[in-house]
Structure 1
Amino acid sequence: MRHIIGREGADFVCVQETKSKELSDARCFSLWGDNKVRSMHNKGDEGSGSLLSMWNKEAFEYENHLMGTSFIIIFGHYIKSSSKCVVVNIYSPSTLNGKKSLWEDLTKVKMARHEPAWCFCGDFNAIRSRSERKGVRGRGEQTSELIGFNSFIDSTFLLDLSLVGKKFTWFKPDGTAKSRIDRVFVNEEWLQLWPMSKQYILRREVPDHCAMVVKSVEKDWGPKPFRTINAWFLERGFSRMVQDKWRSYSVQGYGLTKIKEKLKLLKSDLKSWNKDVFGNLDTTKRRIFQDLKALDCQDCLGGLVENDRLKRLELVSHLKENDKKIESLSFQKARANWFKNGDSCIRFFHSSLG
């Protein structure tokens, strides 16, 4: 286990069936590889069905926990992103009634709490489809198990993470049976925090189960390119603002390095300018319409003074400018969408040409 934790750089580890009534801190330090670990142990039925949850204290901050006959629920937050999350370590009973009782308990906890990101992992002793179990008899009980297990997943709004590696996670030592009873479920909020999350099935290093690792691996494509919005150039004073900002930057370096650092500073300033000055074009349009409506109502009631007439002309001018910006932005977005997704009718046109 220590080898897997070190190799994968794990921040949180869930172990099922430790077969231990008690686990000392020294033993957990040994399993983890250092003393930067905190743990929670559920001894189960005198060691049978026992569970162990361990986490890196420098990566995950514990807040509280709940413990049941077949689970440990740890509430806390991931320090690096300050994201609240919940990790549920599960070792399900083998009987159908025991599984149903576990599903009910977990559903109640999940529905009663308001934490955003949830992860359920461990040995569920259940399958979602018949293709996930080979060489095991008991068709009637399997049907009830399939229905109950899938119902639990749906009622708790859990999602099965994409699988990488082996199709099965448990193997009978003599090779006559195998199944996928170990797995990881998360909810949508978890995927919003870690959108590239997948469950990786490692090679079998213990007699019957394969270890699983959840990772969110994002490819590094290098620095993001510097982009602008064409509609910005239609804004009065935009070009002058950019020139003034560019001249104001004092950076160290030579040649392209200096330009790169200046572009980084300009990118940050443009984000602020886009929010504070350029603003939301649709919101601006609605505000102009409201001002025009107020002036028109005033004109109907008693007429407009010269200043109000000039103000109305200015509003109409701003409205035309705003519409040009919206048109430019829509055109740029349409081109970007086409480059990304292509023409949805392209197959039709190609077949017509043929």
Structure 2
Amino acid sequence: MDTSWGNVLELSWLFMKILSWNARGLGRKEKRGKVKKLLKERNIDIVLLQETKKAELTEDEVRSVWGRDKMEFMVVDAVGSAGGLLCIWDPDVFQLTECCSNRRFILLSGTIFNQFNCAILNIYAPNDVGSRGHLWDCLLKLKEEFPNPWCLGGDFNEIRQIADRRGCSRRDRGMKEFNEFIDKCEVSDLPLLGRRFTWCNSFGGEKWSKIDRIFVDPRWLEIFNLKLWGLPRLVSDHCPLLMMEDERDWGPKPFRVLNAWFLHKNFRSFWESKWKESRVDGWAGFILIQKLKILKNGLRSWNVEVFGNIVNKLKTVEGELHKIDLLAEARDLDDDEKGRRREIRAEMWSLSRMVEWLWLQKSRLNWAMKGDKNTRFFHVVTKCRTIRNELHSITEGDVVYEEPSQVKNKVMEYFKNQYTKLWPDRPELGGHFPSADGSVRFDLLETEFSEAEIKLVVMECDGNIAPGPDGFNMLCF
């Protein structure tokens, strides 16, 4: 089982912004000024530009685009006025070690903040399907020579599904080859926030496509909390793509029961003792709600004090088992050491299963059996689902609210209005409705549900489903 996602670097305090954009030409000084303004306003650390349409870019021209004192760059010149690639980065953020390029891509291999080894690619794919296929094959061969986690950004001139295009002709062969390339490359397609398409024809605005993308290796998602935003189109028929970390504080996360708790040897006894010691008077529904509240507070403390960080625990146990194995290679183990090795091995598999259940639940995949699965896969699925489902901003008229407090207030205000009674008297349903009394098996309609029937329904429910907002899922019952 793969648990290497737990060996993440402590980079949470370092924030990074990468922008990819088909600028459709950098020849005019005014346009370079517009690009520079965007990079300065967004505080971009690394920029990947496609279609510079410049047969030669001087350092002064590159500096006229970049808004910082420190700068390193790499250029692929355009052929006449076609193509052209430009990568610019802050050397304090990205440290280059190797690079290679051709007319269609630039590959930069190095480290981010001198800690995370990676490869960043700036891609401008050709328009015809056959040439794109050759580019995909070339990049796949190149991946063997540069095995560090990839980040691919640029104009791929291809869609992944029919929904990514409107008002344009279909090209099923190109889509299939593109998706096969992504699968073989083992990269994740970051969900696009803020807009649906990335390109629009400049004239009628009737043709739309999502052909600009940023893909990342799963190891990027293990370390950085990345979001991909589509910015306004401005001076190009392509919109800039901004990949950045979300620095906003949305407050404490709501309580939720973790299925992995049920694998802990002390969990059931803690649950039973906490439930029995809580004394509440009142009617049955009130007693249940109050006892669940008391149990919730106890579980929060138990999770921190007893269950703890199972990823770190697993790493510690694996390290201790490795030391005992090295000791066994040097000499024979005594009985106590052999017993300890058996205990550690059993604990390691127990913790591994907990980690697997944790990410299986977070990914919300309905797998029939919780056996050995790829935990990194669950981690990536969880990240992408979270990005898609998160509410990042709210637009009201021409005003965009992005601060967490503003977004929360607007959501509360919206639902408060939805459930406010707007009329003094509710409408009545008129007409003649014949009674069902006397029909066949009418008695079954008024028969009370038996305890056995209720229990059967509860037991057949998916354990991950929560019947209410209190965080207790069906597995608890």
Could you say which TM-score interval applies, normalised by the shorter chain?
A: 0.5 to 0.7
Ranges in structure 2 where 5+ consecutive residues have no aligned partner: 1-34, 253-265, 267-308, 363-462
Q: Is the 8 A contact 2:52 2:85 kept in 1?
A: yes
Structure number with greater Rg is 1
* Higher share of residues assigned helix: 1
Q: Which residue of 2 aligns with 1:67?
A: 101
- Structure 2 residue matching 1:32: 3-state secondary structure: coil
Describe how 1:1-354 pairs up with structure 2 within 5 A: 1-79=35-113, 82-115=115-148, 117-137=149-169, 139=170, 142-173=171-202, 174-194=204-224, 196-220=225-249, 280=317, 294=334, 344=464, 347=467
Q: Is the 8 A contact 1:128 1:149 kept in 2?
A: yes
Q: Is the 8 A contact 2:109 2:118 kept in 1?
A: yes
Call closer, same or farther: CA 1:159–1:282 in 2, change over 3 Å. Answer: closer
- State how far apart, in whole Å, the 1-side matches of 2:163 and 2:251 are: 41
- State how far apart, in whole Å, the 2-side matches of 1:24 and 1:44 are: 13
Q: Deviation of residue 193 (structure 1)?
A: 2.3
- State how far apart, in whole Å, the 2-side matches of 1:86 and 1:126 are: 22
- State how far apart, in whole Å, the 2-side matches of 1:106 and 1:121 are: 13
Q: Which residue of 2 aligns with 1:244?
A: none
- State how far apart, in whole Å, the 2-side matches of 1:161 and 1:281 are: 33
Letter of the 1:11 partner, please give it: D
- State how far apart, in whole Å, the 1-side matches of 2:465 and 2:211 are: 43
Q: Is the 8 A contact 1:44 1:70 kept in 2?
A: no
Q: Is the 8 A contact 2:104 2:124 kept in 1?
A: yes
Call closer, same or farther: CA 1:206–1:350 in 2, change over 3 Å. Answer: closer
Q: Deviation of residue 16 (structure 1)?
A: 0.5
Q: Deviation of residue 153 (structure 1)?
A: 0.4
Call closer, same or farther: CA 1:294–1:156 in 2, change over 3 Å. Answer: same
Q: Deviation of residue 30 (structure 1)?
A: 1.5
- Structure 1 residue matching 2:64: 3-state secondary structure: helix
- State how far apart, in whole Å, the 1-side matches of 2:147 and 2:318 are: 35
Q: Is the 8 A contact 1:111 1:156 kept in 2?
A: no
- State how far apart, in whole Å, the 2-side matches of 1:281 and 1:213 are: 39
Q: What TM-score results when the alignment is normalised by the length of structure 2?
A: 0.48
- State how far apart, in whole Å, the 2-side matches of 1:76 and 1:113 are: 10
- Structure 2 residue matching 1:166: 3-state secondary structure: coil
Q: Is the 8 A contact 2:151 2:214 kept in 1?
A: yes
Call closer, same or farther: CA 1:18–1:283 in 2, change over 3 Å. Answer: closer
Q: Is the 8 A contact 1:91 1:123 kept in 2?
A: yes
Call closer, same or farther: CA 1:54–1:350 in 2, change over 3 Å. Answer: closer
Call closer, same or farther: CA 1:63–1:350 in 2, change over 3 Å. Answer: closer
Ranges in structure 1 where 5+ consecutive residues have no aligned partner: 224-230, 232-270, 296-310
Call closer, same or farther: CA 1:166–1:283 in 2, change over 3 Å. Answer: same
CA RMSD for the aligned pairs?
Answer: 4.2
Q: Deviation of residue 49 (structure 1)?
A: 0.8
Letter of the 2:97 partner, please give it: E
Q: What TM-score results when the alignment is normalised by the length of structure 1?
A: 0.64
Q: Deviation of residue 114 (structure 1)?
A: 2.1
- State how far apart, in whole Å, the 1-side matches of 2:318 and 2:91 are: 46
Q: Deviation of residue 134 (structure 1)?
A: 1.0
Aligned residues: 265
* Higher share of residues assigned strand: 1
Q: Deviation of residue 350 (structure 1)?
A: 10
- Structure 2 residue matching 1:31: 3-state secondary structure: coil
- Structure 2 residue matching 1:72: 3-state secondary structure: strand
Q: Which residue of 1 aligns with 2:403?
A: none
